[in-house]
Structure 1
């Protein structure tokens, strides 16, 4: 499939694929023009956007550059640090572990991590971690200047410093790092082969799905295509690595065990992952990641009308109504009401996916059989990012004929 730079006519092969999949080339071109306008106006530096319908790629847009200096262009296989989209892989592996009988949604964290004692957090379960209702505050870092590249270090800091403040299940506090530190540790401790989290993700998800450019860290074959993150002041903490200097060395290092924010990937690899979810958990090459029944449960809203405490603050500052959290089992869900959301307002209520700090999003609309992946350079603030991806998501749906 021919990549589209966006500043020329849509390649004929993409146009033909769009028509065959029931998509409007003109509407897809309008989406591309919106991205180009964002970039030319300085909203962000560049983007790699892919859209697929019925498993067929209908838009492959690579536009703009990796940084403000326009030092190198975004290409179709640019490697992005995907921040909290890392959590989606841990979530999927957790659901796989439940299906294999190694964990249960009702497993208490303290049953696997005994040092995670003390009420009320000792009553939290895998279900609470996946739905961000474990009763702990949404802490970005459990200790100042903490190195984030080793899971054991992160786990010790979480155990020592992040305590329950409400009964699990009664409040939704998005957890930037603690929940997925705990989930990753539970996965490792219940793995029959005692693999580390990087190996687990690689052997259970990345390799079987053919995600050759996805890893916990920037591997040698990925480095020359890596879009070095420019947080532009939107991330409230440093991301320190023992092996790589700099305030955000974690996102430059060869490897890390930051199971909440340390992965890097391409738009193409994320399409492979999202398409596996669209297909009911079985990849195009026949690998059974998780079952259709589990995906159906996972894309169900389990948090009711509870607000997400983090995004409640964003909404109040931006001046719009506070939306419900609309969280499934590890996935963000569009939900039944029309609210401000990155997942769009024209998507179906069961649309589900995940996003990463001000720059990255994927979603699957099971009703429209539609997949959207957007990776961008130059992080936006939370409110700007929600508005940007809501607009692009709605434009993607509008292209369905």
Structure 2
């Protein structure tokens, strides 16, 4: 069985076992964390940080988590809303006047967070993602594809720029700066919206699915031909990608940092004595904004404010398999990050990890 490092409560032995089984099944590397009441009950890692399997995954290895990043960007907006600085029911154009062009004057801030704004597709070149001013100007000059609020279509790359620009207009700071100063810094969380050169030595690059190369592109399980510019693994592994702020998909961290940050949402806004928002501000995240078929994902989805809703839990996953799931009733967060991609259809690794964590929770609460 694969060698698993780290620590875990004896009630949660199913979690490291599940990670070991994934590594034994061919995955390169990854880490898992389970936090209850803001404290780690599982913090484990294993495998390798490189495709050649020569560099062991370490405690401080970080990896790109792609769309798990959306939960971090949403948290920034929810903090501003909780402080009364951002009105989620206000038109986006109140904060970003140029955005009102071409019929977007009725797009509300909550539409950005719930994928109902009508701007799901990135139609520019990949290189433009690395230039904030160009990317946001392109979106401001775009027409919505449907009446805002009436339908949902997963804004896989665009959501981060849309929410991030609002954060910048309200706070005077980029979303990466806001996150670092208001979230990661106070919590001591090793998560980054964009990665500085000083961290390159501990980065695990993304490994394409077996039989694929770095030209492998992102697609949803039910929608292989989604419109817009295709993102390749080689793009996500590029220096330009990690130096940029791409707040829908350009976050880097490990399972520990993901679980620590999102424990804020599981624990009523306060973790480790650090209060980031009120209990009511947390509860906003799982207020249903849309329920039905998502036009881009090609499957039924329930959207809250920046999070997908799944029964009594909420959270989201990223391209390649990383995932965070928040269970507010149990004050639990489960995070799984990996450098090993699999084909989206049939990739249940994150779900397997979550189920293994519930085994431990049953014993803890019993």
Q: Aligned residue for 1:380?
A: 342
Residues 1-400 of structure 1: matches in 2 within 5 Å? 7=3, 14=8, 17-18=9-10, 24-25=11-12, 28-29=13-14, 31-42=15-26, 44-136=27-119, 138-139=120-121, 141-160=122-141, 162-191=142-171, 194-211=172-189, 213-232=190-209, 233-235=216-218, 237-238=230-231, 247-248=235-236, 250=238, 255-284=243-272, 286-304=273-291, 306-312=292-298, 322=299, 324-335=300-311, 349=312, 351-385=313-347, 387-399=348-360, 400=362
Question: Structure 1 length as normaliser, TM-score?
Answer: 0.79
In 2, Cα distance between equivalents of 1:109 and 1:101: 15
Give 5+ residue unaligned stretches, structure 1. Answer: 19-23, 241-245, 313-321, 336-348
In 1, distance between residues paired with 2:65 and 2:239? 9
User: Would you say the 8 A contact 2:38–2:271 is kept in 1?
Assistant: no
Q: Is contact 2:208–2:340 with CA below 8 Å preserved after alignment? A: yes
- RMSD of the TM alignment (CA)? 2.5
Secondary structure, aligned partner of 2:128:
coil
Give the superposition deviation at 1:231. Answer: 4.0
Q: Give deviations 1:31-85, integer Å, cap 9, x for gaps.
A: 433332322332x311101122333422222121123310212223211112122
Q: Secondary structure at the match of 1:384?
A: coil
User: Contact 1:135–1:165 (CA<8 Å) still a contact in 2?
Assistant: yes
| Higher strand residue share | 2
Classify the secondary structure of the residue corresponding to 2:46: strand
Q: Secondary structure at the match of 2:59?
A: coil
Q: Number of residue pairs matched?
A: 346
What TM-score does the superposition give when structure 2 sets the normalisation length? Answer: 0.86
Contact 2:2–2:23 (Cα < 8 Å) also in 1? no
